[in-house]
């Protein structure tokens, strides 16, 4: 995969990478220089150890589905009242 840096220094992250890492608008990313190039990883805002690993495990199901399994199905939405 390749991407080009814009005149403003901006870089477009390919959609497949954004999807795999769960990157959305406003997500912090870290750039780490290595001996062979640069490593880009999903960043964190906090300082807790769990913040560094949050989001690295793949999810096969949505959070809503997992919560439904624990709590039971959500009640049906009520129609708008006037």
Give residue-wise pLDDT tens across range 40-60: 888 766 667 777 777 787 878
The alpha helices in 1-82, defined as continuous H runs, are 15-21, 49-53, 63-71
d(CA 82, CA 75): 21
Q: Is the pTM of this model over 0.85?
A: no
d(CA 36, CA 27): 25
Instruction: Indicate whether 10 belongs to any domain.
Output: no
Instruction: Indicate whether 2 belongs to any domain.
Output: no
Instruction: Indicate whether 45 belongs to any domain.
Output: yes
Instruction: Indicate whether 78 belongs to any domain.
Output: no
Q: What percentage of the chain has pLDDT greater than the value 70?
A: 89
Q: What's the start-to-end Cα distance of the chain, in Å? A: 52
Instruction: Indicate whether 28 belongs to any domain.
Output: yes
**Tokens representing residue 4 in the block:** 């080009």
Domain span holding position 50:
15-71
- The number of distinct structural domains making up the chain is 1
Instruction: Indicate whether 29 belongs to any domain.
Output: yes
Residue 76 pLDDT: 77
Residue 79 pLDDT: 65
């Amino acid at each position: 995969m390749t991407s080009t840096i814009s005149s403003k220094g901006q870089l477009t992250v390919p959609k497949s990478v954004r999807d795999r890492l769960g990157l959305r608008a406003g997500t912090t990313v870290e750039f780490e220089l290595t001996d062979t190039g640069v490593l880009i990883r999903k960043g964190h805002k906090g300082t807790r150890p769990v913040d560094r690993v949050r989001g690295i495990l793949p999810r096969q199901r949505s959070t809503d589905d997992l919560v439904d399994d624990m709590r039971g199905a959500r009640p049906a939405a009520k129609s708008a009242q006037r």
